[in-house]
Chain A
Amino acid sequence: MERIQTHPILGDTPEGKQVTFTYDGKILQGIEGEPIAAALRVAGVMTHRYTKKRHEPRGVFCAIGRCTDCVMVVDGKPNVRTCITPLKEGMVVKTQYGASEKEGEV
């Protein structure tokens, strides 16, 4: 999904500082301080994790840190709510499988 460059009510989107992070090893760009989930959506990433029992894909659902469906492994820490965690330069973001970063581990 794209960024909104200019909005009829909110005007021009303020320019932020570009940062680089990795998503499952891939190098991506985002805006410093925006939620990790926002940067991922712009990059077209919809699936943030696969569930433990049914191995089903999940992504952003509530976007305000309540539903915890968007959790990923960030800098080695699992269950990080990417919709409310600000993006920082050099972050290592990985798809979460169950409660870990590798399929089969829980």
Chain B
Amino acid sequence: MVDVQEKLKAIGPYREEPDDDMLICRCEEVTKGEIRQAVHAGMFTMEEIRRYLRTGMGLCQGQTCGKLVKGIVARELKVSPLDIEPATSRVPMRPTEMKILARDGGACDE
């Protein structure tokens, strides 16, 4: 388990950067600054960032921003992107309307 308080102390306070306004998640319109601030709020894994900011939770399901978000979180935590815990993968893999999911009759639908 990561000691969040210790880690936060180690990475120091959030400091504004000139490109903080850069959009990273195109679908949910989340900026680099928001992601950096989320890290300083204790969100260290892709799953936490996703739930906190909705990055990768939009229509495209993180197809475009996944790697970018990971890079930003890693840089902020001063670790390699390989050390960032990847997000969980769950059904449905592609955006699917609720009414269609609701019609899923399970294995015996035919």
Q: B-contacting residues of A (Cβ < 8 Å)?
A: 51-54, 58, 61-62, 66-69, 71, 79
Look across to chain B and name the residue whose beta carbon is closest to the beta carbon of A71: B59
Asked if B95 is an interface residue, CB under 8 A from chain A, the answer is yes
Residues of B within 8 A of A52 (CB): 29
Q: List 21 A-B contacts (CB under 8 A).
A: A51-B29, A52-B29, A53-B29, A54-B23, A54-B29, A61-B26, A61-B64, A66-B60, A66-B63, A66-B64, A67-B26, A67-B60, A67-B63, A68-B27, A68-B58, A68-B59, A68-B95, A69-B27, A71-B59, A79-B59, A79-B95
Identify the 7 closest CB pairs spanning chains A and B, nearest first: A68-B59, A53-B29, A68-B60, A66-B63, A67-B60, A67-B64, A54-B29
The SS class assigned to the B binding surface is: loop
Q: How many residues of B contact A (CB 8 A)?
A: 10
The distance in angstroms between the C-alpha atoms of A71 and B95, with both chains bound, is 13
A69 touches B26 (CB 8 A): yes
Residues of B within 8 A of A66 (CB): 60, 63-64
Q: A-contacting residues of B (Cβ < 8 Å)?
A: 23, 26-27, 29, 58-60, 63-64, 95
Residues of B within 8 A of A54 (CB): 23, 29
Residues of A within 8 A of B27 (CB): 68-69
The distance in angstroms between the C-alpha atoms of A20 and B59, with both chains bound, is 29
Look across to chain B and name the residue whose beta carbon is closest to the beta carbon of A54: B29
Residues of B within 8 A of A51 (CB): 29
What is the minimal beta-carbon distance from A70 to any residue of chain B, in angstroms? 11
